[in-house]
Amino acid sequence: EVQLVESGGGLVQPGGSLKLSCAASGFTFSGSAIHWVRQPSGKGLEWVGRIRTKANTYATEYAASVKGRFTISRDDSKSTAYLQMNSLKTEDTAVYYCSRRTCSGGSCFSDYWGQGALVTVSS
Amino acid sequence: QSVLTQPPSASGTPGQRVTISCSGSSSNIGSNAVDWYQQLPGTAPKLLIYVNNQRPSGVPDRFSGSKSGTSASLAISGLQSEDEADYYCATWDESLNGLVFGGGTKLTVL
């Protein structure tokens, strides 16, 4: 059974840092890109960024709102992806989801999602 | 403001057919396939439709998707109370080089 489990959420002050983990199981982690998506309370989904596979040089892309502050990485030996968040702002407060990307016929989609980790940025 | 435009709300009575639209541009829907996600209250999003009109196993055939030009739509036939949820469209945007979502549509079953 495919599972993604986020951890590391919590309360942090503005300007602080937090690192989320996304532990995967039930599939070949090294063969899948991982995306991070966030959702402020009562609002819609916002893409944060992605990390591709080793075959794609572990390339990363980020949303403009987090570029330069957030870093996505992965450790294929641990089947885990990470989201390092620095210089946090109150507007970063949200539930953060990781998702597995699967590709079919040249198109990719997020077929499995974690349960989410709540990050609250407040003084 | 979301890159993809969805109506904020939709509603229908049990058994009815409802459609939810998703409008984009040449750099996103016009260039790439569209996915739809269902989010029940308090839960993570769930893949409902992928590559415009494909259903993952386990998704009832009451759900269908289509795409034409720079727009896509999700249709739900035989509406049931358990379909009450938020629905999001998503696709890759070539100009932004990122995944973009619609603002979400809250479906109410009357």
pLDDT in tens, B58-69: 999 999 999 999
Average pLDDT, chain A: 97
pLDDT value of residue B101: 98
Q: CB-based contact (8 Å) between B35 and chain A?
A: yes
Where residue B97 falls among pLDDT bands split at 50, 70, 90? Answer: very high
Q: Quick one: tokens of B5?
A: 């435009």
In three-state secondary structure terms, A65 is coil
CB pairs A-B closer than 8 Å: 62
- In this prediction, what percent of chain A has a pLDDT beyond 90? 97
Between chains, do A62 and B104 touch, taking CB under 8 Å as contact?
Answer: no
pLDDT value of residue A102: 93
pLDDT in tens, B23-63: 999 999 999 999 999 999 999 999 999 999 999 999 999 99
End-to-end CA distance of chain A: 40
C-alpha closest to that of B4 among B108, B107, B74: B74
Tell me how close the Cα of A115 comes to any Cα of chain B, in angstroms.
Answer: 6
Whether B1 has a pLDDT exceeding 90, the answer reads: no
B102 contacts in A (CB within 8 Å)? 44
Whether A106 has a pLDDT exceeding 90, the answer reads: no
> How many other β-carbons are positioned within 10 Å of the β-carbon of residue A116?
21
As a whole number, mean pLDDT of residues A74-89 equals: 98
> If you search the block for the tokens 């386990």, which residue do you land on?
B58
> If you search the block for the tokens 């599972």, which residue do you land on?
A3
Where residue B92 falls among pLDDT bands split at 50, 70, 90? Answer: very high
pLDDT value of residue A61: 97
Nearest chain B alpha carbon to A114: B44
Between chains, do A44 and B44 touch, taking CB under 8 Å as contact?
Answer: no
Where residue B84 falls among pLDDT bands split at 50, 70, 90? Answer: very high
Nearest chain A alpha carbon to B37: A110
Residues B89 and B6: beta-carbon distance below 8 Å? yes
Cα three-residue angle A66-A71-A77, rounded to 5 degrees:
150
Between chains, do B98 and A44 touch, taking CB under 8 Å as contact?
Answer: no
pLDDT in tens, A13-58: 999 999 999 999 999 999 999 999 999 999 999 999 999 999 999 9
Residues B47 and B34: beta-carbon distance below 8 Å? no
Average pLDDT, chain B: 97
> If you search the block for the tokens 């002050």, which residue do you land on?
A13
Between chains, do B99 and A50 touch, taking CB under 8 Å as contact?
Answer: yes
pLDDT in tens, B5-27: 999 999 999 999 999 999 999 99
pLDDT value of residue A104: 86
